[in-house]
């Protein structure tokens, strides 16, 4: 997945923090973030990406969505929806990244032994 932005360093720093990883790149045009099975590229292709239609939403799975919620609150991230249980058993929350993209974090229900 690739996010197009005019603010590569800021967005890359945010996603390195969010995904608890480090890419050690200072490139102002292109940075790639690897975290477990996720590869996220932050790229400035020279176009204006400040328009609302240039946005997408991302979703990540975490062990504990409530713990992630606390981390995001401590950083002052704008929360859209606090963690809440969903009918299918997951707990979801959503927030805005520094570019205004909507990000969802979810925790899946724990499987019982023997299932």
**What are the residues whose beta carbons fall under 8 Å from the beta carbon of 98, sequence distance 6 or more?**
7, 10, 11, 14
1-54: which CATH topology?
Answer: 3.30.720
**What are the residues whose beta carbons fall under 8 Å from the beta carbon of 22, sequence distance 6 or more?**
16
pLDDT tens digits, 63-112: 999 999 999 999 999 999 999 998 878 899 999 999 888 899 999 887 64
* Domain 55-115: homologous superfamily in CATH: 2,3-Dihydroxybiphenyl 1,2-Dioxygenase, domain 1 (3.10.180.10)
pTM of the model: 0.76
């Amino acid at each position: 997945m690739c996010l197009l932005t005019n603010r590569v360093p800021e967005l890359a720093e945010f996603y390195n923090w969010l995904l608890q990883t480090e890419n050690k790149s200072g490139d102002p045009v292109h940075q790639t973030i690897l975290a477990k099975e996720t590869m996220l590229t932050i790229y400035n292709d020279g176009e204006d990406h400040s328009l609302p239609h240039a946005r997408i939403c991302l979703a990540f799975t975490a062990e504990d969505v409530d713990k992630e919620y606390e981390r995001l609150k401590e950083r002052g991230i704008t929360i859209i929806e606090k963690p809440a249980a969903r009918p299918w058993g997951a707990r979801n929350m959503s927030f805005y990244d520094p570019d205004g993209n909507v990000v969802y974090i979810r925790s899946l229900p724990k499987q019982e032994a023997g299932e």
